[in-house]
């Protein structure tokens, strides 16, 4: 049996385990919390610490998508330049620093791929405000807990695809081959899965707000 197929999600704990989740305590890093604020003030030492602390994370996100090493290095440099520029818009009360940096890294890596494939730019998104000021659901520990609860409610087939794509880092084509599914079906199911996850997350958030 392929290891890729062994994961069966029965509850949130096993799902988290399968995703390689180790709960990070409070989810906030005190050193990290202050870093972007210092970066925004032009503190060179804070920028160096930011590279040391978040460089490996950014690099792992970049390397998932950009296979050519020199391209990946260039993208990584672009991402840190953007982090320096956008640090002033970071709001610790809304998002974790890892979230802020991770979203910039992920989005820019996807943009890089898009440019390499000569796809048109997503013009509206390019001019959109940066992440921290517009993530209504993201960031707090409570929201993250809600996210995992919502993900647990997704059908097993969707969680399986999520596992292959997000956890194993497999491309749509690789998943299609692995699962013997048409490429279009993989694409549709992943998109539908995200939509359903967001829907569930909103329902959970509403419930949570009503109860409190």
Partner 1 sequence: MSAPNPYERFEELDAGRALGDLSHEEVLEWNELAPKHKSGTSLDFDWISMELELKNSKPCSLSSSLVARLNDTIPAFTSNNSKKESSPMMVSIIPWLGWATAACLLVFFNLPFSDSPQPSPELTVTQKLEVLREAPDTQRLDFSPASDPYAKITGEVVWNDERQEGYMSLANLPVNDPSKNQYQLWIVDPERDELPVDGGVFDISAGSETAVIPIRNALQISKPDAFVITLEQPGGVVKSKQEVVVALAKS
Chain positions 19 to 38 lying near partner 1, rule: CB under 8 A, are 19-21
Instruction: Assess 7 for contact with partner 1 (CB under 8 A).
Output: no
* Residues of span 78-137 touching partner 1 by CB under 8 A: 80-81, 84-85, 98-99, 102-103, 106-107, 110, 113-114, 119-125, 128, 131, 134-137
- Least gap, CB of 33 to partner 1 (angstroms): 17
Q: Return d(Cα 198, Cα 186) in angstroms, integer.
A: 18
What is the per-residue DSSP string for 6-53?
Answer: -----SHHHHHHHTT----TTS--HHHHHHHHHHHTT-HHHHHHHHHH
Q: Which of 9, 32, 35, 76 touches partner 1 (CB under 8 A)?
A: 76
CB nearer to partner 1: pick between 8 and 169? 169
Query: According to the binding rule CB under 8 A, does residue 65 interact with partner 1?
Result: yes
Q: Say if residues 154 and 193 touch (Cβ distance below 8 Å).
A: yes
**Which is nearer to partner 1, 8 or 60 (by Cβ)?**
60
Measured from the CB of residue 170, what is the shortest distance to partner 1 in angstroms? 9
- Minimum Å distance from CB 74 to partner 1? 9
What letter would DSSP give residue 170? -
For position 142 contacting partner 1 by CB under 8 A, the verdict is no
Closest by CA to 28, choosing from 79, 93, 105, is: 93
């Amino acid at each position: 049996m392929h290891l890729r197929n062994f994961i069966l999600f029965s509850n949130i704990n096993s799902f988290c385990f399968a995703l390689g989740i180790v709960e990070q305590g409070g989810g906030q890093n005190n050193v990290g919390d202050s870093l972007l604020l210092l970066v925004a003030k032009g503190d060179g030492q804070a920028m160096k610490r930011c590279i040391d602390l978040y460089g490996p994370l950014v690099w792992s996100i970049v390397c998932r998508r950009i296979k050519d090493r020199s391209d990946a290095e260039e993208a990584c440099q672009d991402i840190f330049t953007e982090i320096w520029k956008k640090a002033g818009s970071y709001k610790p009360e809304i998002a974790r620093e890892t979230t802020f940096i991770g979203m910039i890294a992920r989005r820019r890596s996807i943009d890089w791929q898009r440019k390499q494939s000569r796809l048109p730019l997503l013009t509206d998104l390019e001019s959109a405000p940066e992440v921290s000021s517009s993530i209504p659901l993201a960031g707090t520990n409570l929201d993250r807990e809600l996210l995992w609860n919502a993900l647990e409610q997704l059908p097993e087939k969707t969680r399986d695809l999520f596992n292959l794509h997000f956890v194993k880092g497999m491309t749509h084509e690789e998943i299609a081959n692995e699962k013997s599914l048409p490429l279009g079906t993989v694409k549709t199911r992943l998109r539908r899965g995200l939509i359903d996850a967001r829907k569930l997350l909103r329902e959970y958030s509403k419930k949570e707000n009503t109860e409190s």
